[in-house]
């Protein structure tokens, strides 16, 4: 099973991904947590260029290509082999992030972005995508306590609002895959809802 987490900055998706890994491991499942961008040598370099190098002014199309290059390698060299070995793979961000950040946030041609982002998955789509839904201002306020701010976090409020709108549009289009979760609650309450959905899904598959 392949599970992804999505959401605006500060939505709590990374926390929930980790909690789910811990829960499934305790249940006896073999599970792996990964993220985008940032897996492997190429991913680390791309993550640094996109999120940390503040003196590097990337063209939006260049940014799109870097994210998708990272994903293709990630899927081929890591995610697919883990899934083939029978593991549950949980990924913090996946192609939906590219669709909304580059298509809605950077305002690139949405059809082009969707085509390239989908191609970069090498035909591997998530079984479940959890979308942590949270007001943008709440998420950005949370970031101030995180201590590690990326270039993407520093984008103006309008940019982050467009990201949230993009996610809401995707959730309406794919309600079977994308499970919209109210992220403005206690983390334990959110985790309970997510873990319940996953366990039910595993039971249906078996």
For the chain, how many structural domains are there in total? 1
The answer to whether 89 touches 34, Cβ cutoff 8 Å, is yes
pLDDT category at 147 given cuts 50, 70, 90 is low
Residue 146 has a pLDDT of: 72
HSE-CB of 204 using CA atoms within 13 angstroms: 9
What is the tens place of the pLDDT at every residue in 73-104?
999 999 999 999 999 999 999 999 999 999 99
Structural domain for 62, as ranges? 2-205
Query: Interhelix angle for 60-74 vs 110-119, to 10°?
Result: 20
Percent of the chain exceeding pLDDT 70 equals 100
Whether the predicted model's global pTM rises above the 0.75 cut:
yes
User: What CATH number is given to the structural domain containing 34?
Assistant: 3.40.50.300
Q: Is the pLDDT of residue 134 over 90?
A: yes
Q: At 133, phi and psi to the nearest 5? A: -95, 120
What is the tens place of the pLDDT at every residue in 162-191?
999 999 999 999 999 999 999 999 999 999
The answer to whether 133 touches 170, Cβ cutoff 8 Å, is no
Q: Between the CA atoms of 59, 62, 63 and 65, what dihedral angle is there, to the nearest 10 degrees?
A: 160
């Amino acid at each position: 099973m392949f599970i992804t987490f999505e959401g605006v900055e500060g939505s709590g998706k990374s926390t929930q991904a980790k909690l789910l890994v811990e829960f499934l491991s305790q249940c006896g499942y073999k599970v792996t947590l990964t993220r985008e961008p940032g897996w492997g040598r190429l991913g680390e370099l791309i993550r640094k260029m996109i999120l940390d190098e503040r003196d590097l002014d990337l063209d939006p199309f260049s940014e799109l290509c870097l994210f998708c290059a990272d994903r293709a390698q990630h899927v081929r060299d890591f995610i697919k082999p883990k899934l083939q070995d029978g593991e549950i793979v949980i990924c913090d961000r996946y192609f939906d992030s590219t669709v909304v950040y580059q298509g809605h946030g950077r305002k690139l041609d949405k059809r082009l972005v969707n085509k390239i982002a989908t191609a970069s998955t090498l035909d591997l789509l998530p079984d479940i995508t959890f979308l942590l839904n949270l007001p943008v201002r709440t998420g950005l306020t949370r970031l101030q306590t995180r201590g590690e701010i990326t270039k993407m976090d520093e984008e103006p409020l309008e940019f982050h609002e467009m990201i949230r709108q993009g996610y809401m549009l995707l959730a309406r289009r794919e309600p079977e895959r994308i499970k919209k979760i109210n992220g403005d609650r206690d983390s334990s309450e959110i985790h309970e809802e997510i873990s319940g959905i996953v366990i039910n899904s595993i039971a249906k598959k078996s």
